[in-house]
Amino acid sequence: MREIVLDTETTGLSAANGDRLVEIGCVELINHIPTGKTFHKYCNPERDMPDEAFKVHGLSEEFLADKPLFKDIAQDFLDFIGDSVLIIHNAPFDMGFLQAELEWSKMPRINNDVIDTVLLARKVHPGARVNLDALCRNYGIDLSRRTLHGALLDSEILAEVYLELIGGRQVAFSLAQDTKDDSGVTIANREVKKRPEPLASRLTENERQSHKDFIAQMSDAPIWQKYRTDDQ
């Protein structure tokens, strides 16, 4: 199973109000394990950089001036994500910008399933703060390298958080009933898949009999007898 952990940086909070995407970072997971394969691009937004946004990610107009336009890297981005499930923290924000940029570039919209780790974290930790910093502190994930927001770095950190939220790399999942966000992207909710039948015991009949013979040599009422079940 291939998943892509994704993050973006922008000039502000609303594509509808003229804000633009300036950075994309993606990390590939295969069966919940990071492969080391990434996608990372800066984009020239063709507009000024507001002070509020610069304080968040430190990307200046001067730095972005010689970077490619989004439309020039859009196909490479779409090729990288393919049809994989996207893992995004506060997915409606990032997906809103990506869909807008793709529309402006006359490129196809993203139709991938999306897991919003904000929603997932609220299920796992109801009532707790679920921003990325708070989740990192909760799981003991090192934030010392995160002096400013950065799309690739935040994707790498989110990949660690996501693996903690789902219970580690060996957890099996199934897609629950889908919901759609305001950007029209299906958001897949994940639940732990329970085994339809318990695994069979690996004890042989000889091992079971040897254990019963051992118990028979004990006193008439050893303390552990009260913890036994009928099939022991």
Residues labelled as active-site residues: 149
Cβ neighbours, 10 Å, residue 116 = 24
DSSP H/E element including 57: helix 51-57
Please state, in angstroms and rounded to a whole number, the distance separating the CA atoms of residues 75 and 29.
20
For residue 132, what are the contacts with CB-CB under 8 A and spacing of at least 6?
A: 89, 154, 157, 158, 161
Please state, in angstroms and rounded to a whole number, the distance separating the CA atoms of residues 140 and 153.
17
Indicate the residue type of 26. Answer: C
Cβ neighbours, 10 Å, residue 86 = 23
Q: What are phi and psi of 194, to 5 degrees?
A: -85, 145
**N-terminal to C-terminal alpha carbon distance within the chain:** 39
Residue whose entry in the numeric block shows the structure tokens 């994989």: 84
> Which two three-digit tokens encode residue 228?
């036994």
Please state, in angstroms and rounded to a whole number, the distance separating the CA atoms of residues 158 and 130.
12
